[in-house]
Amino acid sequence: MQGKNAVILIAISMFCGQWYEHSIQDPCNDEMIMQVKGSWKKHPDANMINDRNEGQVIARVDNISKLFQWAYPEPKGIEAAWFRTMSGNPLINGGPIPYEFNSSYKSWYCNQQMHKILLGAETGTWAYVCINSFGWFMTSQYDQLGLSLHGNTLYRLPPKIGTWKGNTLYQVRSWSNRNGCIILTHHNQLPWKPVSQLQYCTLVREFWDMQKKKTASSYNLQEDELRKMIIANQNNKNLKEADREKIIAGLQKKLEDIQQTKEANISRTNKYWEEKIAVIDNYLRLTDAATLQGPAFVDNRSSGDFSGALSSEQKGGQMLVTINTEYFNTQLPRYVPQLIVLLWKWGRDTPSLDFKKQFEEHFPVDKLNDLLDK
């Protein structure tokens, strides 16, 4: 009986294969691709932490996966997959643990050489739900400014690009422009707070003044190191006399060169930093107190420099923020979602654009919001 079933399965497989080849005769096009019925699959999880919170995390991510499959139940021209992750440190000491729902959407495409519709190996279409973390919304790699305020890192807040289902829509700078992001928070609070112009200018000024002071000390350190090396070589019994004299002479020459140019180099470097500091001092002197207490916006290409003026939201500037440590309730169980970040990005191909359309029309944001503080 089993052998008979195997023969039937092989016959069905051969028939389906023949139909598949016939159905995709050239020219292959988007209409044919969109007729390919995809499915949802569960991929292995990554970086899960085996502790007493894992079961609670799994239950919440599984609920999120159902929301996605409800909003996009019949993938067309796409194979959808999802998995869970737990990675990264809490945003504050003792704060809620971060975890994520991750989903990818690989498109089928026309392979003109093989004359077949094939599944892409990679995809630019993804969607994430980051719990108790910012995920790609604000990252250490792309959005940190290299400055800190009272020990809290300064971030460039992604720009607002509109609204979606009653929520402010942001665009993540670390990706291409084909993305959207919303933040769901509790009690109408924000998990970040703005950095004022005065705070930003003061931080930059302090940093530049520190760099100026380092100039003289760096030359002193070089001199001290060379003197130590000269003494070490003088006491090195393993060196031949001729080699010792040659090495010491070379080190002595470097020391003399540094000493001869030290004052001029320090003066030139100090002048450079003093001119930059004067620009900040001039801005602080000419700007009214109310403006200085307002939020600081920097150009999205800024690396923490200050050229004499700040940007604005209207000009496409990015607000400087730090994490609002008071936002988080440390009395709640650590697995409870206190911050939810929903991000999605899409490719240019037709199946990916269809996913974007279906997702943005049907995803139940209210049900995702209901997970907060529970």
Tell me the average confidence (pLDDT) per consecutive run of 10 residues in the chain, 374 residues long: 39 36 61 95 93 93 98 97 92 94 96 86 96 90 81 90 96 88 93 96 92 83 87 87 86 85 87 93 95 91 74 89 94 96 96 97 97 96
Residue 323 vs residues 150, 187, 278, 328: alpha-carbon distances, Å? 11, 16, 30, 10
Write down the pLDDT at residue 220: 83
How far apart are alpha carbons 105 and 351 in whole angstroms? 9
**Alpha-helix runs per DSSP H in 235-344:** 241-286, 289-293
Structural element, H or E, at residue 54? helix 54-71
Q: What are phi and psi of 310, to 5 degrees?
A: -110, 165
For residues 17 and 110, give the distance between their C-alpha atoms in angstroms, rounded to a whole number. 17
State the pLDDT at residue 125: 97
Can you tell me the distance from the alpha carbon of 35 to that of 40, in angstroms, rounded to the nearest whole number? 16
8 membership: H or E segment, kind and range: helix 2-23
- The tokens of 329 are what? 């309730």
What is the pLDDT at residue 15? Answer: 34
pTM over 0.95: no
pLDDT value of position 188: 83
Q: Looking at residue 83, what is its pLDDT?
A: 98
Check residue 114 and give left, alpha or beta (phi > 0: left; psi -120 to 50: alpha).
alpha
